[in-house]
Structure 1
Amino acid sequence: MTLERKIATVFTMSDEAWLCHANPWSGWTRFTTVLPLLILSIWSRVWLGWLSLIPIALAIFWAWLNPRIFPQPSSTKHWISQGVLGERVWLNRDLIPVPTYHQHVPNILSAVAAIGGILVIVGLVVLNIWLTVLGFTLVTLGKLWFVDRMVWLYNDMKDVNAEYQSWLY
């Protein structure tokens, strides 16, 4: 089982939730709000003390809720929609192999985002705004490039599997 599938399992991402997450409103609002809300919530411990656990919990809840509150899209031909579909293909790569040229770059981009995530955490612990912003930038750029690779992956794989093809409408 891939790490990505384990994470999807933790977030209880059903087939229906994945299709709802392919809605551009879900993809873009999750991408643009979850990490900034989480950063602000954690930083709020300076002002709120232990009460900051409330906005932190709300930000985590939003990350879970977001793929579920939007309807399935009327079309999955949007860039962000195909990025989400590509993520499904990527997490399924242990069952349906992806082409060799797609096997390494997503891992490198995930590592860039992970390094950014570490910088965000350190920045939040020591309350260093510049370290936090640098980390956020690395996470964002790594994730955007990753999503772009997932669009490419999905377009390369959609004709390999009938289920993958059925996601495009």
Structure 2
Amino acid sequence: MSDIYRAAERLMGMQDADWRRHANPLSVWTRFSCLPLLVLAIWARIWVGWWALALFVLACLWTWINPRLFPPPADFGSWASRATLGERVFLARDRHNIAAHHIRAAHVLTGLSALGVVPLVYGLIALEPFALLAGLVATILPKVWFCDRMVWIHAELTGTTPGTPLATPLLPPERTPI
């Protein structure tokens, strides 16, 4: 499962400047619209036929542009900003001393989110709204919890308290190779 994180990061092609922009709370909170927009675009096939493909492409474009759209925040101390900073640390976990319980929790939450895709896909194929909504909730809620875990990781490794203002995107020092 650990490769799924790196694959997603490579797919998004995030550079340092993109991560700084994505730490803007507007970027983080609007990011949660990506999956519902993709789902809506696919569901729209029953209303607009093949034009749903254009909606799907627009939703994919929004997914890619969202972390790059907003300016870096003036303060990196918000929960949303720290979730982004913590995710950066987590993605580089081979270079940081992240507690094993955080890594296990992240894997479990990612697995739970992935399980939510099953009813979501079924709902899209069978045009079953209840399964679709249950799948959306089951996919998004673990992701929110994952973000909270990333805040916790950031706080532990930087020795800071969430909510305390941060003028720069503070990242912990990388461990020295043995």
- Shared fold by TM > 0.5? yes
- Corresponding residue SS for 1:94: helix
Matched, 1:29 2:30: yes
Could you say which residue in structure 2 is the equivalent of 1:162? none
* Superimposed CA distance per residue, residues 36-73 of structure 1 (whole angstroms, 9 cap, x where no aligned partner): 11111100011111110001010010010011110011
Determine the structure 2 residue equivalent to 1:50.
50
State the 1:168 CA deviation.
3.2
Amino acid at match of 1:122: Y
After alignment, is 20-29 or 5-14 more displaced? 5-14
Runs of 4+ in 1 over 4 A off after TM superposition: none
Task: Work out the CA distance in 2 between the residues paired with 1:154 and 1:121.
Answer: 33
Q: Does 1:19 align with 2:20?
A: yes
For structure 2, which runs of at least 5 residues remain unmatched after alignment?
160-167, 172-178
The answer for the alignment partner of 2:174 in structure 1 is none
Change (3 A) 1:64 1:82: same
Which position in structure 1 is the counterpart of 2:165?
A: none
Q: Secondary structure at the match of 1:72?
A: coil
Residue 135 of structure 1: aligned partner: 135
Where in structure 1 are there 5+ consecutive unaligned residues? 160-165
1:110 and 2:110 are equivalent in the alignment: yes
Q: Deviations over 1:17-39 (max 9, x none)?
A: 011000001000111x1111111
Partner of 1:67: 67
RMSD of equivalent CA atoms:
1.8
Preserved contact between residue 119 and residue 135 of structure 1 (Cα < 8 Å): yes
Partners of 1:6 and 1:92 lie apart in 2 by 13
Between the aligned partners of 1:85 and 1:11, the Cα distance in structure 2 is 16
TM-score scaled by structure 1? 0.90
Question: In the alignment, is the contact (CA less than 8 A) between 1:5 and 1:92 conserved in 2?
Answer: no
Q: Looking at secondary structure, tell me which structure has more helix per residue.
A: 1
**Alpha-carbon distance in structure 2 between the residues aligned to 1:102 and 1:124:** 33
Give the aligned partner of residue 163 of structure 1. Answer: none
Once the 2 structures are TM-superposed, how far is the Cα of residue 101 of structure 1 from its aligned partner? 2.1
